[in-house]
Amino acid sequence: MNARSTAAFGPLRQRWSGLAPRERRLVAIALAVVGAALLWWLAIGPALATLGSAAARHQALDAQLLRMRGLQAQAEQLKSEPRQGHEESVRALEAATRDQLGNTARLVVAGDRATLTLSGTPAGALAQWFTQARVNARALPAEARLTRNAAGAWDGTLVVSLPPR
């Protein structure tokens, strides 16, 4: 290994010894500046950037964890409730449609699926209906073909699956 380093660095050592003391100092300073820049660019800068963004990322992850725990609690609550039959689910879905959507929607139940046709349904009412359908009727979304009209309301069809008979 020593012979290799001598062969590789021999010309550089010769060149270095041929430089005047002032030139050696300038080359050493230039090498130190380049070394410091590389150290900053490869090690210190990325570490400081990660450290600077850690607080915001930590807050976002905490918020996500809270949402996940809320969903977990809701799932546990739904699991603990007694199983609901198909007829009860249909009645709950019809009640949610009547109460939340009024005459802006029409519900057709066929077997284990229900199709909701929307015509100018406000977004808030649709969100409430989704909550009622999921919690009270145990309905899960299967298909959705929705468009927003010029008034900001929803038109289209929604298909939900109901608990089996």
Range with the largest mean pLDDT of 1-10, 15-24, 151-160: 151-160
Cβ contacts of residue 148 below 8 Å, gap of 6+?
154, 155
Provide the whole-model pTM.
0.53
For residue 49, give both structure tokens: 């950037």
**62 pLDDT more than 60:** yes
Q: What backbone phi and psi angles, to 5 degrees, belong to 162?
A: -105, 165
**59 pLDDT more than 70:** yes
For residue 24, give both structure tokens: 């050696």
The residue among 99 and 11 whose pLDDT is bigger is 99
